[in-house]
Amino acid sequence: MSAEALFPRLDPEAFRSQAHQLADWMADYLRDLGHYRVQPTVTPGEIRGRIPPGPPEQGEAFERIMEDFERIIVPGLTHWGHPGFFGYFPANTSPASILAEMLTAALGAQCMSWNTSPAATELEQAMMEWLRRMLGLPEGFTGVIQDTASTATLVALITARDQAVRRSSGRAVDALTVYTSEEANSSVPKGARLAGIRPDHIRLIPTDAAAAMSVPALEAAIAADRVAGLVPCGVVSTVGTTGSTAIDPVRAIAEVCRREDLWLHVDAAFAGSAAILPEMRWILDGAEHADSLVFNPHKWLLVNFDCSAYFVRDPAALLRSFSASAEILKAAYDDAAVNFRDWGIQLGRRFRALKLWFVIRTYGVEGLRAMLREHIRLGKLFADWVDGEPGFERIGAAPLATVCFRLVPAGESELAGDLDRLNRDLLERLNATGKIFLTGTRLKGRYVLRLALGHLTTTEAHVREAWDLIRREASEL
Ligand code: PLP
């Protein structure tokens, strides 16, 4: 075939037909999601073994690629949107978000500067303002969309580091210390390391009985570091820990940070969405005094991954750490416009604001609140069932649709190892059914199972089925 014949050309009519087929596939998938196994049964290397080791020399037909997608890829997927997916944390999505994501791909806009896509920058500004109002953060807060909470926390820690170095008249990064709780997400100590903080200067502050950061322990750690001649630099508090959705006392931590002149970053990655409910706004109490805050609409606000909302009180501090220009980037409106490339790590940026706009407009704030309320109601219902069931024990307060529990059969050895093993076995049996998927974690030295709600498709009937299955499998252990 001639090079001319092989050259990829845009064929709008072929695209139209394929896009229609794809829309049908996606609609069927969303309709039938509950019939799939939540987790596949494949073993490592199995999917890879079905993919040719090298790329095709000649282009292939869309139909063949879709056939292979269904034959090779789908059987190897864990279906995060499945109504029986209760693992890790929700990473929910919705039709409005999926449609906007398709548009984003079609537009292919680069959102590094105002000039590279003015509408993308201005929609991002507007969406961050909508989210600020939805969360009830003060007017001084302004924001930018980051890919993940991990990145936002890294950005916060780099900004805190630079500010501390500037203020400590030339003390080296080597002297800086960072504080977070022992229940903080793994991305926090990782972010501190990436920001150049020595691993032995990252303090994992003990938590209280509710798995929230102990403020006296935080104060003691800061004081000890000062006595040792170190330079405390910042605190990362968590609103909704990954393990059990515990909520650090942000107001009290903010007071310590103000007194000690430390940067305060609030990681509300999962739980932050719940603050759009007036009755749950208390979870962000004190966050108005933070220097920065992140929450993930891609976890619990019907926006598909990735979309993290990062708010700062002083964008100038952010710009001091992240501004970088080059001749090719200079544009006529640089003085008058925001260039989001200077608000984070990446130069190239996706047009993520579009899906937020579609989602918030499609469901309205009241629609989103209704979804959150339902998930929280289902979480409470499940917690009540656990509380009422002999042989089960619930761990933690479960205010946010994630319920930690474990099997404690009467007469079973109280030795922690035995119960841990029993609960690991229960988890394995549950996940092997393919009907539901849960994850386990360790809380206060005990191995617990977690049921994390938050998907669009999950109803009370699904939670009831999950509970029946848990009791059935437990009775057979
Ligand atoms: N922080 C908390 C409290 C989380 O629960 C998670 C994810 O579970 C993260 C941070 C990391 O989020 P991301 O995947 O957006 O980096």
**Ligand 1 pocket by Cβ (under 6 Å):** 89, 148-150, 185, 187, 238, 240-242, 267, 269-270, 296, 308
Predicted confidence at residue 334, as pLDDT, reads 82
Closest C-alpha among 355, 359, 354, 343 to residue 146: 343
| Nearest-atom index, ligand 1, CA of 151 | 16
Confirm if 301 and 273 have CB atoms less than 8 A apart: yes
Predicted confidence at residue 417, as pLDDT, reads 72
Predicted confidence at residue 410, as pLDDT, reads 79
Spans of all domains in the chain: 109-350
| Nearest-atom index, ligand 1, CA of 270 | 5
Q: Measured in angstroms, how far is the CA atom of residue 270 from the centroid of ligand 1?
A: 7
| Nearest-atom index, ligand 1, CA of 184 | 3
Which pair of tokens denotes residue 345?
Answer: 């790590």
Q: Measured in angstroms, how far is the CA atom of residue 150 from the centroid of ligand 1?
A: 6
Q: Which residue CA neighbors atom 5 of ligand 1 most closely?
A: 242
Which pair of tokens denotes residue 94?
Answer: 């919705």
| Alpha-carbon gap, residue 264 to 259, rounded angstroms | 12
Q: Measured in angstroms, how far is the CA atom of residue 153 from the centroid of ligand 1?
A: 10
Predicted confidence at residue 412, as pLDDT, reads 61
Q: What is the CATH number of domain 109-350?
A: 3.40.640.10
Confirm if 344 and 151 have CB atoms less than 8 A apart: yes
- Tell me which of 89, 237, 305 to substitute to probe ligand 1's pocket, judged by most ligand atoms within 8 Å of the beta carbon: 89
Predicted confidence at residue 255, as pLDDT, reads 98
Q: In what order do the strands lie in the sheet with 437-443?
A: 85-86, 437-443, 446-452, 402-407, 392-395
| Nearest-atom index, ligand 1, CA of 88 | 8
Per-residue pLDDT tens, the chain, 477 aa: give them: 677 788 888 999 999 999 999 999 999 999 999 999 999 999 999 999 999 999 999 999 999 999 999 999 999 999 999 999 999 999 999 999 999 999 999 999 999 999 999 999 999 999 999 999 999 999 999 999 999 999 999 999 999 999 999 888 777 899 999 999 999 999 999 999 999 999 999 999 999 999 999 999 999 999 999 999 999 999 999 999 999 999 999 999 999 999 999 999 999 999 999 999 999 999 999 999 999 999 999 999 999 999 999 999 999 999 999 999 888 888 888 888 899 999 999 999 999 999 999 999 999 999 999 999 999 999 999 999 999 999 999 998 888 999 999 999 876 656 657 899 999 999 999 999 999 999 999 998 899 999 999 999 999 999 999 999 999 999 998
Q: Which residue CA neighbors atom 8 of ligand 1 most closely?
A: 242
- Tell me which of 86, 145, 150 to substitute to probe ligand 1's pocket, judged by most ligand atoms within 8 Å of the beta carbon: 150
Confirm if 265 and 198 have CB atoms less than 8 A apart: no
Which pair of tokens denotes residue 367?
Answer: 């629609």
Main-chain phi, psi angles of 352, to 5 degrees: -85, -20
Predicted confidence at residue 167, as pLDDT, reads 87
Question: How does pLDDT run across 45-70, given as a tens digit for each residue?
Answer: 999 999 999 999 999 999 999 999 99
